[in-house]
Structure 1
């Protein structure tokens, strides 16, 4: 016959409660012993009855197991404390960063001419100074970039002039060579005429 499920509530009858305590206590102590032997685990079990009577089991020593437990929980608490402190630091840093971003966004809107209704005269003057300084920096950067571009254009102009000079000299040299070839051809043609005259029939010259 199947055993019925026991309802988890305090047993009101003292005699039944004592019997149940004795049976289940022995079962728990047996399970603790089996766990320590089968699994090579360090087990310590402490039970106080409703009358204050102590029952205990330990695979080694109750005191050593308790000391080990205290050391372990202390280390865990220290680690948890360090983690919690780190989380708090990150939250504080995130909050500070969010405030800085909000301040920067507000300054940006003011520099763009927005949300100026709540600004005092001193704040407006400070904004004007910031705009003037920004404008000065922009002009300085602009002049620097223009100077670089001018220098690059001048260098390009110098390179083109040198290349043009080289091409002119090369072209001039080619013209002189062409003139020399034409002179040689004319001389050869003249010599050919003279030879032709010299090799004619006697008495014809």
Structure 2
């Protein structure tokens, strides 16, 4: 005889419930991988245990892309349904926008925790490699911006130094020209002793 239909309800025994969860979770993840490989389907599976532990599978290296695609499709479907209920369209649009923003915030918060090295236990090898690639790209971008800023500061300082050197050269040239001019004027004047000698010689000649 075949086994009778089992009524689906919450398993009261905590140990049995945990064992069943572990078995069904493994089977669910296996089925998700199989359908993604066999049927070339995009699959995203998210599962939280009663203790809040995350288990997930994604056929894409980045689950966010699948989630964003799901959000677009579900939003379009709900938008069509909202058009059939014109009096509530504004309220539904706000609710949909709120749901989209809330989902986006959760994705960003999860990514932030990953970037901080937190909640990495549930990530696959491909997801860890993708995370490492993102961190490397971000560091290269930061270094590039920092080097560019330093180069701009160096250019400004070099320009100021050249302007200062040019001003000093112009100032020195002006001083040298003034000194030469003073020397030319002084050469036209006879020394005081020469004038006295000239007067004495003139006086003797008169006698």
Query: How far is the alpha carbon of 1:182 from its aligned partner?
Result: 3.1
- Does 2:152 correspond to 1:127? no
RMSD: 2.3
Hey, what does 2:94 align to over in structure 1? 90
- Structure 2: runs of 5+ lacking an equivalent: 1-84
Call closer, same or farther: CA 1:183–1:83 in 2, change over 3 Å. farther
How far off is 1:157 after superposition?
A: 2.1
2:159 corresponds to which of 150, 155, 158 = 155
Match of 2:176 in 1: 172
Query: Is 1:189 matched with 2:192?
Result: yes
- Unaligned 5+ segments in structure 1 are 1-80
C-alpha distance in structure 1 between counterparts of 2:204 and 2:156, whole Å? 73
Q: 1:120 offset after TM fit, Å?
A: 1.6
CA distance in 2, matches of 1:105, 1:168: 64
Structure with the larger RCO, 1 or 2 (CA within 8 Å, 6+ apart): 2
> Given the two structures, how large is their TM-score scaled by the length of structure 2?
0.52
Structure with max Cα Rg: 1
Q: Per-residue deviation at 1:105?
A: 1.0
Deviation at 1:98, TM superposition (A): 0.8
Q: TM-score, normalised by structure 1?
A: 0.52
Instruction: Return the offset for 1:140.
Output: 1.4
Partner of 2:146: 142
How far has the Cα of 1:199 moved from its partner? 5.6
2-structure distance, mates of 1:100, 1:83? 28
- What SS is found at the alignment partner of 1:118? coil
- Once residues 202 and 173 of structure 1 are traced to their aligned partners in structure 2, the CA distance between those partners, rounded to angstroms, is 45
Distance in 2 of aligned mates of 1:102 and 1:182: 88
Question: After the TM superposition, which residues 57-136 of structure 1 pair with which residues of structure 2 at under 5 Å, given as runs?
Answer: 82-136=86-140
Q: Counterparts of 1:133 and 1:178 in 2: how far apart (Å)?
A: 68
Give the whole-Å Cα distance in 1 for the aligned partners of 2:206 and 2:118.
117
Q: Tell me how many residue pairs correspond in the alignment.
A: 122
